Structure 1
Amino acid sequence: MTGTNDVYPSTTPRPPFDPEIVPVLEVMREAMPPFTAENLPALRRALAEGLPGVEPTDLTVGGTVQVDERDVPGPDGNHDITLLILTPAGQHGPLPAIYHIHSGGMVVGDRRTQIEMLLPYVAEGLAVVVSVEYRLAPEHPDPAPVEDCYAGLVWTAKNAAKLGIDPGHLIIGGASAGGGLSAGTALLARDRAFPRLTHQILVCPMLDDRLRTPSSRMLDGEGMWDRNDNLFGWTALLGERRGGSDVSPYAAPARAEDLADLPRTYIDTGSAETFRDEALIYAQRLSQAGVSVDFHMWGGGTHGFDLMAAHTQLARASIAARDEFIRRALER
């Protein structure tokens, strides 16, 4: 049975936002309308157009990165999905791959969303990055998004030699919805016994459709991705099934009963964000299942603070910790 905002009242106190982040939050809340069916087309256009006066990211990084796009078979054989493939120019020998799944609450974003976070690893010749463009809800509800992500991962692994990828060194990762889809895709890869992943990087991941944790209730009209946005995103993905018993763990990985034999995991979250508790619980359960976990909770951080307030001390610390993990993962 689906829930409403009245079913899950905001009764939980939240930790304070980091003072450096507060001015940025105020600007972002004014600039970004809430996620609703009426606002969704405008939100998608705004994301596609980018910020006014900000030049699009140079994916070639001055010619050090080769950019390719491939349409590959989707999970049902009736549609293709597009992969953005970033390769170090003039690479020699197979490299680790980072399979990237973009953010956007399951309802916005594309294969280029937040890809700039991974460009340094390609430009430095450390990795090949493959970013998948999965179908979005509500037009394409579950299981379309996670099955698209898995189909792209399978194609990447099967074509590793052509892509200059080491098939034994595959890392999956993403932020927010991309983190949730990464976790779901990793579960699919484990349960379908292909491909074998070495690491998963779950940045403030969207894992639980039930909206029962204290952190999922504590933000109402403040921060980024509050309980109202979260309800919209999960309902877009799951419809009437949201919060009920008929939801797959591949769609909502917090529901997975068995977390054993998953890849080494990095999880981070802010202390003042909607996904705090589900990230914390997932990290704990992974560790209890025998998975090696690096978990970071950043005091005062709200959702996406590392991107929207990258100049702050808190964001710099979180980015540095994640970067250090990724570099170790690439070295293995």
Structure 2
Amino acid sequence: MLHLDDDAVATALDWPGLVSALRAGFRNGAESPPRPHYSVKVPGERDATLLLMPAWTTGGHIGLKTVTVFPDNGRRALPAVSSHYLLMSARDGRIVASLEAGELTSRRTAAASALASSYLSRPDACSLLIVGAGRMAPNLALAHASVRPIESVQIWARDMAKADQLARQLEGMGLKAAAVSALETAVSNADIISCATLSEEPLVLGEWLRPGCHLDLVGAFTPSMREADDAALRRASVFVDTHAGATTEAGEIVQALASGALAVGDIRGDLFDLASGRVEGRHSKDEITLFKSVGCSLEDLVAAELCFERSVGAPT
């Protein structure tokens, strides 16, 4: 059985290839049932979360990702999220590969945002703001830069030292980057705003969004979390990765539905709709667009299959 660590996964998943594979995956579809998630008590800390994410294609592969989220792991200098992936044959059930899923998850999530951006952001979008400086942040910057002509990246984080460190990292990867301390100013000047935090209070306010911008919300993955307020959803054309996941798990969507700021019918489409052409993306240069993702097991399966095929040299 093949085993791929995070370094091998990163090597296999270049941004253009992964975005292209996800585009085909959402166009073709797969069995991707809603993920069960369980709350796990942690003494003296916030509750942890256990997620199970299966997906499969007929005659192709079955994939299963296990994810644990321990939001207070920073106290132990450990990552908040840990995950692993099993890839199995959908013809005979044998396990063909196991993958460390940290880089797999980060890259497929960032590539899904880039895929959405290819439909929703302005083709000439050149300024990017990253909100948050965790593991997702560099991948989001690189993924967005693979589909749009990004000339400058700004990073805002509660910890300015981490924002500075990320800016230096991105500079080393060929992107012009700088840390910023004034979030409102940075949001109001950005063509694309990409958020990846564990915030439970809105960070980006709708009144800050300038005409023509695209807001990419990645971090809030439970109903109690959110990175943007109701005003942002009212002002924007709203798209999601999947309707089922967003309307039950995405904090911004769930809370806006509860407050009446958003109706289910206001959600213009998901990645299945966009990739298949059933729904048009951006309509005009001044339209504000918003993409909310909570993750989809189809994305993991597509990424794991691409890793496996590139590692063994041919699909099985």
Indicate whether the TM-score tops 0.5.
no
Query: Which protein has the bigger helix share?
Result: 2
Query: Which protein has the bigger strand share?
Result: 2
Instruction: Tell me the TM-score normalized by structure 2.
Output: 0.38
Instruction: Tell me the TM-score normalized by structure 1.
Output: 0.36
